[in-house]
Chains A and B, each alone.
Chain A
């Protein structure tokens, strides 16, 4: 079968049975795999390239559930050991109280029947026994309710606390991860760990775990109570447990398949909605409404079908279990009654641990007491079993979520870089550099191996020597790049998308590390410089502007957190942003939301330029910083830009050639190689690629 994307391609997947198949597999092969039969050698061979990519739905859970569970419990224990212990004890009390309640029923009915028979015999009614039993029961219940309340409360604190710690830890750790990590994961994928995965964990910690503990205790306790009353009936009850477990497993498996199908259909519908809503205005302009409706209706219909099927299974589990419980209840009642009638008193307590009937009561009365007590027990026995069975899916899902969270925590953090630090200081009378927080002179502090140090003035001299780089092993993006930028020079990069312009700037701030060659900064290898300090010395205006929720002022100040309001406003004026900011409803205090959605792309770029201006870095990287600003406005901010670039080393990447014209040197990149370099005039005179670009013979994309 023709396959454009290869077996590992990120194309659409298809589903059959309990498997998810990669794109490109033949239908017959899918059929063969999902049927579960033994494969022929030919099929095995055909399967080979796909094997790794087939996912089994049921194993959509954690790869290493036990390990993950242990680690999760470890987290819970770490800070909340006492709480967790208390919770276990309180759950024990709470469960025992409810079991005792059921068990007491037998004693109470027996007491009533005994007394009733005595009254029927002519004695005066005696209530002392009944009252005593009721008081005892009330005491047990009181303990039960108190324990339930206490453990719910305590568990809430433990669960929420653990969640908060986990969230904080995950986020803090993520901040330390290298850019490669962010490249390898989509935003949606990472966000889902913060939302969906922590949500399932919340469920697990605050509900599922207490529920399971309580269920297990209840099952054991009720089982003991049942044995106490009658072994025969207990065995009968166990028979039904097997049936219930079997049904849970079968339906669970089926429903997982349908659920997955529903999710696939839902994904399709959501994808369609997203794409079409994004392009709704185009739909309108092209009168395409009817077509769009038609397509949506079809996808929606598919979703409806799958949703109905998945939902039916979920819905019938309850009634099914419930009524099997009834049938079990009925069978036990009948068998119990039959035993009572046919066997007389000897069998009713056959292996049961209840005391033999007292001489003054009839065996049937005792039996009735047993049955009256045993039947509620049966119900309390089934309930937790069903609950545990139903929690099973939640546990699997939560563990899978926990594993994904731990995966982030386990990612290796970005190294700190070298020992060279950036310091502030000033020259003393003797002309020697002295560190001083309030100083105005930046310098690199280079520690010596045997102790001691020397200072190198921060100038902004950057050199690339034979740099080779690729994002992954088998693809070279930059090949043998050598260039130098002397302090105060403006260096421009020109070339089509993918030529490697942005990559060069990403290497200067060590977002990525080079494969061979060297990059030096003021004569120091950038690998020897502390990464945070290296980045602090570089001001960057990125291709995609990013603004954060907060005021306009906050966003400008992002460049330097201790900048005063006046400094921020001055920067905005230089960037020509002051004009539109003062027209915003609350000026500099206007709140920006949704990545500055209420601003135009050009305005956002002006803000990020202001942000870079505030940062006062000696080296500036402008990556398509003015691409969305119209030429007239660009002209207006040119003065500001010149001021910004004054005395600074500047790297400019621009699509618009008018922006780079006045650079000291222009590098034309193609496929990761510098093919032309020189000033604007020199390059025009060369009549090479730059000339062609400039005259519009080629397009840049």
Chain B
């Protein structure tokens, strides 16, 4: 997982490596300042009669022999160090921000780019909402964690190391306390975190449950109020908050122990240091008061270093799920790939299903069962069938949105798996059942069909899709803004724009998957009429609920439960297919629907 994610660091590698380096610099300053401070205090220490051997002391004493001069010099050195520390700190903060924001930007780009390679099967595997979460929340979590790691994960151990070295050089017989305390603290913190984390996980799960109840209540508030189920909902919510409370307490109980434990260890260390150090001072065996204060500073640094590492590791563990989810996206391989030497020429729009079987999951429920179907180029084929009869699945095999499990689908006599995917889809234009328009103008949306379409071409597609009239009447014509997901137009208008968009591709095969359900029968007929006139050579497949939409097709396919139930003209089917007759009668009774 780490390896997969790390690939996205790329141009930020320099900054990623530089950040901990700079942070080491800052840590060093943080160690040296107390040291110099202790030297400064030594200057005014009356009990200090020993020969000074530290190189800095020797140097300072050589420069000036007056007490005040030495104090000033030490002060100046410390001031320089503080400035350096400030510089390192700010630089570290800046580098860390740039590296982490940059890394995560790359990560999002990489995820997004890979999602673009996804096949429909891949998209089905991760639901839309889970893709969104991975690109947003999970990415932010990883960013926070990454930043914390490059800032702290090297710095804190270094702080620990430097402080230990300094402590040992001052008083090895006292410094061992620190090491022991650090070990105890590390154990304690890890223990607490290991106890708290699973409970936090449970707590977050309960949180999801809580939010789900609220969300469902909000979305379905009309149902709730209609059935007077307010009390029922309140009880559900209470139950959820009770659980959240329970697990929050369970998790936080452990965390509330954290501060006292850490505090306790620090206090014990301080008492021990004061005890041992104090008795050494009293015994006059070499330790000075300034050295004692320095030791106390180091003890806090050592222990806070340990704390920090534990925190970062904890943070890392918490973000691990996010990182795993992101890695899952990055590692996901498209289930559809171009074969070697892909074909980029399509002879015509004929379609052949040769004994095709299909299921969405391996060894899953069989959706299409041994379909054998042959459609000549230029034919218009209607498809009828109940909800769940696999109409959409059948046609989605033609532009190779999914691969067949058995048999083969051929377009223009060539297996779809042998075509270049992009070329195939450019020539097989499909208007999806769940169709979407995007923010932007009508023109921008229509140009999805053909980036280089001229205004005339766009207009002629709009005319054919019977969209011209309402486009002209909206006041801004083709520049009219559709809003997010096309909210600014009605369902029927949306469908017609989607049809126009598909027409602009000038495909060899055109597939309408229930694409005119919100369009009235007259307009529906006009669309079919203009298609017939303008593109007679295009193979057209029309899935519809309305018999009227398919009855004048060359042939109509009746699907039932993933099998071909009947295939023939309207008149033939009325005679031979019971299902077709039933559907037709349910719609024809009492009047002529065909406008």
Contacts and interface: CB of A to CB of B under 8 A. Distances in A.
A32 interface: no
A307 B47 contact: no
A351 interface: no
10 contacts: A179-B222, A273-B112, A286-B425, A293-B112, A316-B90, A319-B92, A341-B71, A631-B546, A631-B587, A699-B523
B211 A595 contact: no
A549 B212 contact: yes
B218 A190 contact: yes
Interface string A526-564: 000000100110101010001111000000001101000
Contacts of A145: 260, 263-264, 267
Contacts of A497: 490
A316 B211 contact: no
Contacts of A629: 387
A112 B435 contact: no
Interface string A303-346: 11001110110111011101100110111011001101110000
A308 B97 contact: yes
A144 B35 CA distance: 29
A245 interface: no
Interface stretch (A58-66, A117-125, A476-484): A117-125
Contacts of B44: 337, 340-341, 364, 367-368, 371
B179 interface: no
A287 B422 contact: yes
A168 B241 contact: yes
A634 B545 CA distance: 12
B582 A635 contact: yes
B142 to A, nearest CB: 13
Of the four ranges (under 10, 10 to 19, 20 to 34, 35 or more), the interface on chain B belongs to: 35 or more
B520 A546 contact: no
Interface string B216-234: 1111111111111111111
Interface string A652-694: 0000001001000000000000000000100010000000001
A130 B279 contact: yes
B366 interface: no
A246 interface: no
Contact of A511 (B81, B98, B225): B225
B501 interface: yes
Q: Is the interface of A mostly helix, strand, loop or mixed?
A: helix
B101 A304 contact: yes
Interface stretch (A152-160, A434-442, A515-523): A152-160
Interface in B197-222: 210-222
Contacts of B85: 319, 322-323, 326
B259 interface: yes
B215 A282 contact: no
Interface string B120-139: 10010001110110011000
A160 B245 CA distance: 6
B57 to A, nearest CB: 15
B33 A337 contact: no
A454 interface: no
Given A157-B249, A326-B82, A376-B296, A164 B244 contact: yes
B432 A285 contact: yes
Name the residue among B127, B284, B592 with the largest chain A CB count within 10 angstroms: B284
B71 A338 contact: yes
A384 interface: no
A534 B224 CA distance: 14
A334 B290 CA distance: 14
Interface in B572-595: 579, 582-583, 586-587, 589-595
A175 interface: yes
Interface string B431-447: 01011101100000000
A277 B118 contact: no
A148 interface: yes
B529 interface: no
A191 B217 CA distance: 10
Contacts of B296: 105, 376
Name the residue among A126, A287, A303, A309 with the largest chain B CB count within 10 angstroms: A287
A547 B449 CA distance: 37
Contact of B586 (A304, A337, A546, A631): A631
Nearest to B436: A279
B540 interface: no
B105 A301 contact: yes
Contacts of B128: 277-278, 280
B223 A632 contact: no
B519 A148 contact: no
B377 interface: no
Given A101-B267, A632-B579, A282 B435 contact: yes
A141 B436 contact: no
A384 B484 CA distance: 48
A203 interface: no
A196 B566 CA distance: 56
Nearest to B100: A311
Interface stretch (B72-80, B184-192, B350-358, B453-461): B72-80
B113 A293 contact: yes
B417 interface: no
Interface in A116-139: 116-117, 119-120, 125-127, 130-131, 134, 137-138
B367 to A, nearest CB: 13
A362 B94 contact: no
Contact of B485 (A278, A288, A314, A320): A278
A630 B225 contact: no
Interface stretch (B165-173, B270-278, B320-328): B270-278
A404 interface: no
A548 B491 contact: no
A613 to B, nearest CB: 13
Contact of B116 (A292, A327, A338, A684): A292
Interface in A494-513: 497, 509, 511
A134 B422 contact: no
B37 interface: yes
Given A326-B33, A372-B290, 19 more contacts: A108-B278, A141-B264, A164-B245, A171-B214, A277-B115, A277-B135, A285-B399, A311-B101, A314-B93, A319-B26, A320-B86, A326-B85, A330-B75, A333-B75, A371-B44, A536-B227, A546-B216, A632-B586, A634-B586
Interface string A270-284: 110111111111111
A300 B401 CA distance: 28
B116 A293 contact: yes
A16 interface: no
Given A127-B282, A633-B387, A701-B518, A315 B245 contact: no
Given A279-B438, A341-B68, A699-B519, A365 B430 contact: no
B120 A281 contact: yes
A700 interface: yes
Given A116-B281, A301-B105, A698-B520, A546 B220 contact: yes
Interface in A161-212: 161, 163-164, 167-168, 171-172, 175-176, 179, 182, 187, 190-191, 194-195, 206
Contacts of A187: 215, 218-219
Contacts of A597: 127
A530 B237 CA distance: 25
Contacts of B105: 300-301, 303-304, 307
A342 B292 CA distance: 25
Contacts of A602: 387
B408 interface: no
A287 B426 contact: yes
A284 B401 contact: yes
Interface in B525-557: 525, 545-546
Contacts of B290: 368, 372
Nearest to B387: A602
Contacts of B523: 699
Name the residue among A276, A320, A367, A633 with the largest chain B CB count within 10 angstroms: A276
Contact of A630 (B72, B292, B386, B485): B386
B504 to A, nearest CB: 10
A546 B227 contact: no
